[in-house]
């Protein structure tokens, strides 16, 4: 299981992705399509259900047109 600090990183990343996605006016489905990842994965990341990979974060950042650092 994850410790408090790790959970905080997962939560903050999910919140930040949601914030950036909403700023761009994208639905979860649209972002998933743009990032070429499974449709339910964005929701699972934003709800802190999964600890996603760096490659998935790279795809999301690219789809949001931001540097990956902006996701943290």
pLDDT score at 57: 98
The number of distinct structural domains making up the chain is: 1
- Going from the C-alpha of 18 to that of each of 1, 3, 9, 12, 63, the distances in angstroms are 24, 23, 14, 10, 13
For the domain that residue 25 is a member of, what is the CATH number? 1.10.260.40
Segments in the chain below pLDDT 70 = none
Q: What dihedral do alpha carbons 27, 30, 35, 36 form, nearest 10°? A: 140
Task: Provide the residue range defining the domain that includes 8.
Answer: 4-71
pLDDT score at 1: 81
* CA separation for the pair 36, 61 (Å, rounded): 12
Residue with tokens 């990956």: 68
Q: Are 64 and 20 in contact (CB under 8 A)?
A: yes
pLDDT score at 50: 94
């Amino acid at each position: 299981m994850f410790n408090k600090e790790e959970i905080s990183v997962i939560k903050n990343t999910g919140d930040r992705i949601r914030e950036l996605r909403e700023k761009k006016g994208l639905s979860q489905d649209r972002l998933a399509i743009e990032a070429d990842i499974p449709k339910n994965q964005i929701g699972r990341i934003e709800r802190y259900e999964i600890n996603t990979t760096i490659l998935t974060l790279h795809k999301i950042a690219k789809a949001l047109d931001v540097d990956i650092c902006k996701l943290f």
